[in-house]
Structure 1
């Protein structure tokens, strides 16, 4: 079960209802799996329409899913060896912080990403490189 958001019982107290949301960690992992598969549609499905992507500390790179699609579609097409491995992951509330090791066109990079998730979608990402 994912994050439990509400629990209630009926008046007799002999039945219980549990409402759960998909955890922020699960959403970010789905995003990572789609990234590694270079599946642009599955990748974008994890983001809100109003996604904001920043470079640390607070430089806005772009805003909105359409801008993200333009950026990542060509990137996925031009990087057949694209792969991201998570070295460490910290989850605090609705934030997921990943220490990443990336392979892009034969070169290796270290980076960190801070994802903020609301209502089952990633709404903000800050990259540290």
Structure 2
């Protein structure tokens, strides 16, 4: 009886660790997962890093996008074109924030950003882009 009970407990613990694994990722790991999906033009993996209610701003508070569906409408055409990439120059992680110095290349145009990502429970909930206009 005890071996069966131990087996069941082990399976339950293993199942819980798999379902909690995304939420257990560090903010830096979540942001890097986003960057990898971006460079692979993998829309589903890219969107999976965001909360449904994500808010995106040009720093400090000019809203660019609200919600995952809005992000999909922006990035889906870019990913289908296949001529977009991001290069990370530096990263800083502090609590639930990740700050990147990054260059985005789209249609042979390079734009430098400082991007501030807020990650809560394994999902990006807010992004603020600092860039020269």
What interval of TM-score do these two structures reach, taking the shorter chain for normalisation? Answer: 0.7 to 0.9
Any unmatched runs of 5+ in structure 1? Answer: 1-18
Match of 2:31 among 28, 33, 41: 28
Give the equivalent residue in structure 1 for 2:5.
none
Give the equivalent residue in structure 2 for 1:100.
102
How far is the alpha carbon of 1:30 from its aligned partner? 0.3
SS of 1:30's equivalent in the other structure is helix
Give the equivalent residue in structure 2 for 1:42.
45
Any unmatched runs of 5+ in structure 2? Answer: 1-19
Question: Larger helix proportion, structure 1 or 2?
Answer: 2
> Which structure has the larger Rg over C-alpha atoms?
2
Aligned residues: 110
> In the alignment, does 2:69 pair up with 1:51?
no
| 2-structure distance, mates of 1:75, 1:68 | 11
SS of 1:99's equivalent in the other structure is strand
Q: Displaced runs of 4+ in structure 1, greater than 3 A?
A: none
68-77 vs 26-35, which moves further: 68-77
| 2-structure distance, mates of 1:51, 1:102 | 20
Equivalent positions of 1:1-129 (< 5 A) are 21-78=24-81, 80-129=82-131
SS of 1:57's equivalent in the other structure is coil
105-114 vs 19-28, which moves further: 19-28
59-68 vs 113-122, which moves further: 59-68
Question: Larger strand proportion, structure 1 or 2?
Answer: 1
Q: TM-score, normalised by structure 2?
A: 0.78
| 2-structure distance, mates of 1:67, 1:109 | 21
Contact kept? 2:78, 2:84, Cα under 8 Å? no
Please give the root-mean-square deviation of Cα atoms over the aligned residues, in Å.
1.4
How far is the alpha carbon of 1:81 from its aligned partner? 2.8
